Chain A
């Protein structure tokens, strides 16, 4: 019966032996750490894009290399997005010069451009508001719910992803600390 001590001792010995063998084999066949691809996931390089803002100025993700950047996906009908934006605006005003960039991407293919412009104007938003009229960038970032924010480190690698209302000023500051070299 497996419950007796002798059998259990054999069981443990076998498990330990096989574990050591497995560790050795794994170390031999895959010793190096992985080269990361581009994907909308933590640890991967952020997917590239080039979009226009509300004034027709073109922005490319590569323009923000060298500094952490938050990419914030939102829509004017999204109440949770609108609850976060004031905090995001004040963070932008305090920290954008030296510490972190913030760009927002409006999912214009699921929104109304006049409503977006009105909202931006009424709330005096000064961080870049880019429009995604075809949804291609939203798809490449795997956006399934709003708001979704990606925090990207200075090397262009996705550091964290926040879905919902977690993008507080305190959280952003904590991530800046974590991203320090």
Chain B
């Protein structure tokens, strides 16, 4: 795997670089689409930035709180420049909460925002899986197929490449259905978000069979598949809820003759 990329005298950590490129690409694509539809995305960009910063600070804070005994002797060490002292789950919760608070303050429309953020997400995902290839995370089951890659002592399914390809296909579906960003994917707000998130979760669920290490729920079900199914069901129920149309009474207009009983 390639955790470090050597560029001349510099050694750059590959994973954060690839993730950063993915995020930039996603924001670029979102802006391109919004520009063609004459939509301003500066508020959404600010939302992403605020959520990222809030998430990082929250992740460090969560780590310090979780292991507070480690910091009692030297509180200043909580501020050390370290890539390891982050609590990922707490950071994600903080990023979401801060994003929600910011959205409310700026009165951002939820479904339109989610549609735009989905563009960032589906562009980011192929880069995310490539970064796993660089770091060696998410290794596949042992395999003797001709395209198996040698990872950690064995030839294995290149699960990161399968997932990157699947994410790339979803991105292609999006680009084709919007005629390369010239129109909306769906006229209704929110449907793009629900459709693309469902498709991404479905691909992840299907390809999970090729993962090497899996935690199990109920002793049989792969935990990643379980979470993907939950996401799909949530999207489905949100879709059903949004398709409910309140029926209004029909206005019946009588002609003069009918009104007079003729």
What is A's interface to B at a CB cutoff of 8 Å? 2-3, 5, 8-9, 11-12, 15-16, 18-20, 22-23, 25-27, 29-31, 33-34, 36-41, 43-44, 142, 144-145, 160, 162-171, 173-174, 177
Contact = CB atoms under 8 A, between A and B. Distances in A.
Nearest to B86: A166
Given A33-B216, A34-B212, A171 B152 contact: no
Nearest to B198: A15
Contact of B1 (A26, A142, A160, A168): A142
B228 interface: yes
B77 interface: yes
Interface of B: 1-4, 11, 13, 63, 66-67, 69-71, 74, 77-78, 80-85, 136, 139, 152-154, 177, 185-188, 191, 195, 198-199, 202, 205-206, 208-209, 212-216, 219-222, 225-226, 228-229, 232-233, 235-236, 239-240, 243
Chain B contact residues, majority secondary structure: mixed
B214 A34 contact: yes
Given A22-B225, A166-B84, A177-B67, A12 B235 contact: yes
B81 A163 contact: no
A39 B153 contact: yes
B229 to A, nearest CB: 5
Given A5-B243, A30-B209, A33-B215, A166 B152 contact: no
Contacts of A144: 2-4
A22 B214 contact: no
Given A33-B215, A170-B77, A12 B4 contact: no
Contacts of A166: 82-85
A10 B144 CA distance: 38
B127 to A, nearest CB: 20
Nearest to A163: B3
A171 B86 CA distance: 10
Nearest to A15: B202
A173 B69 CA distance: 8
17 contacts: A8-B239, A9-B243, A11-B195, A16-B233, A16-B236, A19-B229, A23-B205, A31-B220, A37-B153, A39-B152, A163-B3, A165-B83, A170-B70, A170-B71, A170-B85, A173-B69, A174-B67
A154 B229 CA distance: 36
B219 to A, nearest CB: 8
B212 to A, nearest CB: 6
A108 B78 CA distance: 33
A27 B221 contact: yes
Closest CB pairs A-B (n = 6)? A166-B84, A39-B152, A173-B70, A174-B67, A170-B70, A27-B220
| A26, A34, A41, A142: residue with the most chain B Cβ atoms closer than 10 Å | A26
B197 to A, nearest CB: 11
Contacts of B69: 173
B85 A145 contact: no
B243 to A, nearest CB: 5
